[in-house]
Every structure is written in structure tokens, then in C-alpha cells.
Amino acid sequence: MQLSIKKRNLIFWMLQLAGWGFLNIVSVFILKELSFEFLIFSLVGGVLIGIFTTTLLRLYLKRNVLFENFGFKEIIKIVISYLVTSAIYGASNIAFGYFYIKFGPALTEDDLGILKNYDKIGLIVFNALFIIFVWLVCYLIIKLLLKFNADRIERLELNSTLKQAQLNTLKGQINPHFMFNSLNNIRGLMLEDVEKSRDMLTKLSEMLRYSLTKTDVNAIVLEEELEMVDNYIELAKIQLEQRLKYVKKIDPKSLLIPIPPMIIQLLIENATKHGISNLKAGGVITLKTEAKQKELIIQVRNSGRLQLDKNSTQLGLSNIRQRLRLLYGDKASFSLEEADNEVIANIKIPLS
């Protein structure tokens, strides 16, 4: 499972204390012949300097480096921040040695021998570059592992949620009420027009076949989806008759573009059930598609008012948003609004 921000911060501070504590304790054991006071101050000072400088480095990396969109600019930022942090770390150690000599406890000859190293700029620079480099490599490795883990969990969630969304989509689109009403309407139509009733049964069976065979795929061409929508409109007209007018404005360039299956049909059903059927005089449903350079725009407009009450298909609309998010991330969008006595649903799908 993914770690929360609070847990990540806790782990970071634990690793900071453990890592810098271990490094400075090793240094203390190596320099054990020095005075006790100097060793304690070196241990505490080394830990504080290390934590302070690398915490600043972490804050910069989190705020300025986009690990999700890693490129040459990000590498430059990391290199520059590494060099600046190394300079701060080295300068802090020089300042520590200077102030310890001025204001710290009495020094032994061994202590002074160690502190003389603070005057050796080359050694200090190498030490700072090496230690900060090791810290940065460890940080990037952990960051990379966390990202791989997050991506793996997201893929598992995608597979699981898509299957559930497809099941919910079936519930929200070809629901038992629609099937029952369609069969009843076709039965009544048989007394008036046998040929037409046969045609309607064929369309109903095609819709059932479509809904059952497309639950295992994430994309179909728009042209295939439009065939199902046409079948749905013909079945709906048995009951609504002249009250339902259907207009298509299809961009020919959009016909072969892949889209999530049953996504337009759900919008059309929502427009029919919660829009046109509630109007005594009926109304118009307009389906429009437009293929632009970077996105496909699908728009469904219907006469009526936007009323998302308990009886509306909120489950279906939620499924649309969920599937778009899982398939396209933030690149796709879905909106539902009312304007000029019309309900307008817009879907935008990226083409690349």
C-alpha cells in the first residue's frame, strides 16, 4: 500500500537521525583518542549540520524537481542543488571548527590537530562533495523505489477499478427497467407492425450483445459506439414517438478514434430518461463530435433542466468520470451544465 505523507515524513526523519548519527558515531570511534568534550560536540554538531543541510536539499527537490516528468532541466536542478548544498555543508563545518576554537571547552593537542584540518579547504571540499553525493544518491534511489511502488499500485487499482466500473456501467446503462419497457413496447408494436417489431428485437439483441462483449475492452472506435446509440434511440422512440428528436453532427475524422465503450450511450440515455421523457412536448437530443489536433470533443445536448436528484443516473455519471480518470489521468475531462434551457454534457479525450 502507498505511504501517507505523514508516514513518509516520519520515515525521512528516522533515516536522517539514523544515517547522520551512524556516520558521526563512526567518526567518534575513529577519533576516540580525542577529549570527551570535543567528541560530544563533534557528534552533536555533525548530526545537526548534516540534518540541516540535507533537509534544505530535500525541500528544494520536493518543490522544484518534477520527478513525474523527469528531463534534462530536472538533472540541471539536481546538480546545482547538490553543489550548493555541498558548499553549505562545508562552510557549516568550517564555521563549527572556528566557533569551537573561540568559544568551546579547552582543547588538547590532539583536538587542535584535528581542528587544523578545518583550514585545509581541499579536504573540506572533497569531504562535503562526497558525503552530500552519497546522501543524494540514497535519496533518489528511495524516491525512485517509492514511485515504482506507487505506479505498481496504480496499475493494480486501474485493473481492479476498471472491471468494477464496467460492471457498474452495465447497471447504469442497459438496466432491467429499460429492458422491461423495451420488450413491452415491442410486444405492443407487434399488433401494429410485425416487420418493425422484428427490427426492434434485432436492435435490442445487438445492444445486449454489444454490452456483453465490450465489458472486457477499454476502447472501441467511435463509429462502433454510434451504432449502439442509434439502436437505443430507435427503441426509445417506440415509447416517446414524435416527442423525441435526435440530431447527429459527427465529424468524419472522429469515427475511427478509440473511446471508452458505452460512454456516449450513457449520456444519451441520461438525456432521454431525465430530460426528454419529463417534457410533455418532448425535445431534441443533439450529439456532436469534433476531432481537433490534440483532443476529441464529444458533446450531448438535450432540452430540459439539470436536476441531479436521487432518481437521476448519478452512478453512471460517476462511472464516466472514474473511467476517464483511470484511462487518461488529468488529460481527459467531463462536465455537465445547464444553459438556455438545455443540459449540456461535454467529454474531452486526448488523442496522444
315 and 198 co-located in one domain? yes
Residue 113 has pLDDT above 50, yes or no: yes
Contacts 24+ apart (CB under 8 A), 128-131: 128/86, 128/87, 128/89, 128/90, 128/93, 129/86, 131/23, 131/50, 131/89
Instruction: Kindly state whether residues 244 and 315 are assigned to the same domain.
Output: yes
Q: The whole model's pTM is what? A: 0.51
Both 24 and 142 in one domain: the answer is yes
**What pLDDT does residue 263 have?**
87
Q: Are residues 201 and 318 in the same domain?
A: yes
More confident residue, 209 or 118: 209
pLDDT of residue 170: 44
225 and 346 fall within a common domain: yes
- Both 78 and 119 in a single domain? yes
Q: Among 49-63, 202-216, 262-276, 288-302, whose mean pLDDT is lowest?
A: 202-216
- Which of these three, 105, 126, 156, is where a domain ends? 156
Range of the domain at 208: 174-350
Question: Is the residue at 93 inside a domain?
Answer: yes
More confident residue, 300 or 37: 300
136 shares its domain with 182: no
Domain boundary among 88, 122, 156: 156
Domain boundary pick from 125, 156, 187: 156
**Alpha-carbon dihedral of residues 116, 120, 126, 132, nearest 10 degrees?**
50
229 domain-assigned? yes
Residue 164 lies in a domain: no
Has residue 311 got a pLDDT over 70?
no
Q: Specify the pLDDT at position 171.
A: 44
Q: For residue range 153-191, list pLDDT tens digits in order.
A: 777 777 776 656 554 554 444 455 566 777 777 887 787
Cβ atoms of residues 255 and 166 within 8 Å: no
Kindly tell me if the per-residue pLDDT of 120 is higher than 70. no
Q: How many domains does the chain have?
A: 2
Kindly state whether residue 169 falls inside one of the protein's structural domains: no
222 and 138 part of one domain:
no
Same domain, 43 and 191: no
Q: What percent of the chain has pLDDT over 70?
A: 79
Sign of the torsion angle spanned by Cα atoms 309, 311, 312, 317: positive
Same structural domain for residues 149 and 262? no
Q: What is the mean pLDDT of the chain?
A: 80
Q: Which residue has the higher pLDDT, 348 or 270?
A: 348
Question: 31 lies in a domain?
Answer: yes
